[in-house]
Amino acid sequence: PISCYLNSVSDSLEGIVGTWNENVWLAARGGGIGTYWGNVRGIGEAVGLNGKTSGIIPFVRVMDSLTLAISQGSLRRGSAACYLDISHPEIEEFLEIRKPSGDFNRKALNLHHGVLVTDAFMQAVRDGTEWVLQSPKDGSERGSVDARSLFQKLVETRLATGEPYIIFIDQVNRSMPKHQRDVGLKVTTSNLCSEITLPTGRDQHGQDRTAVCCLSSLNLETWDEWNGDKMFIEDVMRFLDNVLTDYIDRAPEEMARAKYSAARERSVGLGVMGFHSFLQARGLPFEGAMAKSWNLKIFRHVRAQVDQASMMLAQERGPCPDAADQGVMERFSCKMAIAPTASISIITGGTSACIEPIPANIYTHKTLSGSWSIRNPYLEKLLIEKSKNSEGVWSTILERGGSVQHLDFLTQEEKDVFKTSFEIDQRWLLELAADRTPYIDQAQSLNLFIPADVDKWDLLMLHYRAWELGIKSLYYLRSKSVQRAGFAGGVEADNTPDLKQIELQTTDYDECLACQ
């Protein structure tokens, strides 16, 4: 029942090969994987008696090939992400491993990648100082770069390819459960969708941990049906606890590290979907004070309920070992994470994906059984009320990439309610994400939607602002200039005047089904 994992590579040949082996077994059994490579020394550093290492890139490339070779559960090929520190000597080459130009032997075109960004680096960007690249082996200086130039390269790579993901790792570790932080556990990586932040590698007992993602999502579109039910979230947390127990009981020996980690911390990730649909059902724009108010109310409520459920289940079934060792009565170490929910949001009736805005008000959804035209039900209801629900009106919306901003019979407030992802000021996405961050002990799969002609300064400041607001992670940078990863919700829209049909683009871009 578990399909998402995080692990770390130690700085030895045994550690590297051991991680390759574990990843093969995880991928073969349907797992999506996030692996941290920051412990491995950089290119040119001494190894053995008189040798020099070729760096992490060749090893990452092998992981790329192994992932391609493994079929996930006989349904789809393996999918994995690699993470590296912003201070690693090979960070500049790592940023470009997905670009098809350059030495093909030092590329990993099928892996996703993410960068762990520290407060110290962002302060160096702010101050315009040099940034020291350090050996992970002994901390010695291996070079230096201009912090702003490196930050610009990071952001421009995201604009060109949609990646790498960004994890503001210091903020993540400050938010760790106290009972884990007090024994020296540390988060060094994330998963394939950048919302899971759990400790990996060697723990206080000398055991290696491979963290496990056990996820579920609440449908905010049905908020009125369940928010007053005191048993609802408790039942969901009980369900997650049962799933985790079932996994621990049945996991094969090849997953021993994951089984150990799951048993020790019993972390789960309860998230949400349908946030934009929730707002549209109430006639509220994404950009506004009411959206902020509801955002806070929802996540304050959910967090209070999951905390209560964790303590109640700890009394009933016992606290997790990590918490028990510190005298803490918690069944789960971590309880919340906002996954992308791209697939399950469709299964639940086409609600908006996770906490992000809708990409279009009308689009074509392609499935194995055919193509289906999907219309925003709340917009359709409004058009019926205005006696404007005609094929002609929907055709004009379709021609404009799913936008309603051209419809003169709508008021400005109504147009604001039905703005699409690229039409919304992205600072609102950051502000809403920052407001809910204190209630989410892990992270959020937070996408940003940027037009192709974005001003580079605005783009840099958007990413700087994310750090400044205390946001823990940034997922994809969706741009009109690159059609790579499909939108959450299975939509790929390109707002061009001559567009006749908005549909999911055919890509080779694999993501972890566990989070979708």
**pLDDT of 329-341, one tens digit each?**
999 999 999 999 8
CB 117 within 8 A of CB 110: no
Give me the half-sphere count of Cα atoms (radius 13 Å) on the Cβ side of residue 16.
Answer: 17
Q: Judge contact between 192 and 34, C-beta under 8 A.
A: yes
Contact residues for 388 (Cβ-Cβ < 8 A; gap 6+): 407, 409
DSSP string, 313-356: HHHHH---HHHHTTT---S-S--B-B---TTHHHHTTSPPPTTS
Closest C-alpha among 337, 108, 88, 269 to residue 188? 88
Q: Cα separations (Å) of 65 from 13, 192, 444?
A: 18, 17, 29
**Residue 51: pLDDT band with limits 50, 70, 90:** confident
Q: How many CB atoms lie within 10 A of CB 474?
A: 28
The 10s digit of each residue's pLDDT in 278-315 is 999 999 999 999 999 999 999 999 999 999 999 999 99
CA–CA gap between residue 307 and residue 294 (Å, rounded): 20
- Give me the residue label for tokens 């509801």: 294
Residue from 101, 215, 117 nearest 164 by CA: 117
Q: So what's the pLDDT on residue 1?
A: 66
For residues 514 and 76, give the distance between their C-alpha atoms in angstroms, rounded to a whole number. Answer: 13
Reported as a single tens digit per residue, the pLDDT across 64-111 is 999 888 865 555 666 899 999 999 999 999 999 998 888 888 999 989
Residues 173-193 pLDDT 10s = 999 999 999 999 999 999 999
pLDDT at 47: 84
pLDDT at 369: 79
49 or 454, which is more confident: 454
Count of C-beta atoms within a 10 Å radius of residue 504: 18
Residue type, 265: E
Q: Which of 334, 335, 329 is nearest to 313 (CA)?
A: 329
pLDDT of residue 29: 84
**What pLDDT shows up at residue 481?**
57
- When pLDDT is cut at 50, 70 and 90, the band that residue 393 belongs to is very high
Residue 53 confidence (pLDDT): 87
Q: Provide the mean pLDDT of the chain.
A: 90
Active site residues: 191, 193, 195
Tokens of 39: 């412990």
Please list, residue by residue across 179-204, b when 16 or more beta carbons sit within 10 angstroms of its beta carbon and e when fewer do. bbbeeebebbbbbbbbbbbbbbbebe
User: pLDDT by residue (tens digit) across 248-276?
Assistant: 999 999 999 999 999 999 999 999 999 99
- Antiparallel, parallel or unpaired: β 448-450 and 477-479: parallel
- What region, left, alpha or beta, does residue 312 occupy, with left being phi > 0 and alpha being psi -120 to 50 degrees? alpha
Three-state DSSP class for residue 215: strand
pLDDT at 507 over 80: no
Among residues 170, 210, 197, 33, which one has the least CA distance to residue 112?
33
Q: How many angstroms separate the CA atoms of 486 and 12, rounded?
A: 37
DSSP lists the bridge partners of residue 189 as none
Q: Band the pLDDT of 486: cuts 50, 70, 90.
A: very low
Burial category of 51 from C-beta neighbours within 10 Å (exposed 0-12, middle 13-18, buried 19 and up) = exposed
Q: Using an 8 Å Cβ cutoff, are 486 and 464 in contact? A: no
Instruction: Answer whether the bond into residue 164 is a cis peptide, omega within 30°.
Output: yes
CA distance linking residue 339 with residue 191, whole number of Å: 11
Average pLDDT, integer, range 457-482: 93
**Can you tell me the distance from the alpha carbon of 354 to that of 444, in angstroms, rounded to the nearest whole number?**
9
Confidence band (pLDDT; 50, 70, 90) for 489? very low
Q: How far apart are CA 235 and CA 240, in angstroms?
A: 9
pLDDT of res. 349: 86
pLDDT at 516: 62
Predicted confidence at residue 508, as pLDDT, reads: 42
**Does 351 score more than 50 pLDDT?**
yes
For residues 80 and 59, the answer to whether their CB atoms sit within 8 Å is: no
Q: How far apart are CA 487 and CA 39, in angstroms?
A: 33
Could you report the per-residue pLDDT of 112-131, keeping only the tens digit for each? 999 999 999 999 999 999 99
Poorest-confidence range of 24-28, 132-136, 151-155, 437-441? 24-28
Smallest CA-to-CA distance from 243 within 275, 219, 270 is with 270
User: Which residue reads 């350059």 in tokens?
Assistant: 102
Token pair of 168, please?
């503001």
